[in-house]
Amino acid sequence: MQKVYLIRHGETEWNRQLRYQGQRDISLNEEGRRQAMLIADYLSQENIEAVFSSPLLRARETAAQIAAKHGLGIHLEECLLEIDFGEWEGRLYTDFEEEQRLIAERWFINPESVSIPGGELYPAFRERVLAGYQRILHGNNKSKVLVTHAGVIRVIVSAVLEMPANILARLRLSPASLTILLYDDWGNPYLELLNGASHLTGR
């Protein structure tokens, strides 16, 4: 049995402000650092053999807390980068003009139906994520942590559950949340947990 822990990075100020935060390199805020410590404590007794992370600072800061608990290094993986939001990076939806709002609404409903201005095409993003994930999955480690971003986790979970792109937005993923996938000896995947956040409240 193989176990994969998918972790969204802790909170940043852009998360709190609801800004589009794709590949801009934003650090954790104070709450995000607290969340990173809490999830690291929560996973400290798990048998984790490897820690992989998006190269972006907010993910690396979260991954560092987890890796330290297990005496492990961090493997940085480009495939775990969030989608590039192009012209939307750093902006609020409420600041968009009408044309941009319509594009954003269509993208939210179905990211395959429209392109982000100046950003990464969703099919290319999905292909990048899944190709890298399969490589990581079939590595030598049976139990591994992937610290990444909401968009990446949605892609992986949707692939496992064979979900269409037009319902991806219904997968809620909070900062520092935990999603767990299990793979049996024949490679069949199972979703054990989605958006687990009990570790952040002490329950």
Largest pairwise CA distance in the chain = 51
Rounded to whole angstroms, how far apart are CA atoms 139 and 68?
Answer: 21
Residues acting as catalytic residues: 9, 82
Which domains, from first to last, does the chain contain? 2-200 (3.40.50.1240)
- For residue 44, give the nearest of 69, 73, 7, 72 by alpha carbon: 69
181 close to 87: Cβ distance less than 8 angstroms: no
Which amino acid would we find at residue 12? T
Per-residue pLDDT tens over the stretch 94-136: 999 999 999 999 999 999 989 999 999 999 999 999 999 999 9
What pLDDT shows up at residue 202? 60
What average pLDDT does range 16-39 have in this prediction? 96
pTM: 0.95
Burial 58-74 (b: 16+ CB within 10 A, else e): bbbbbbbbbbebbebeb
pLDDT at 86 over 90: yes
42 close to 199: Cβ distance less than 8 angstroms: yes
Which whole-number Å values give the CA distances from 162 to 82, 165, 178, 179, in the listed order? 21, 9, 20, 17
HSE-up (13 A, CA, CB side) for residue 157? 27
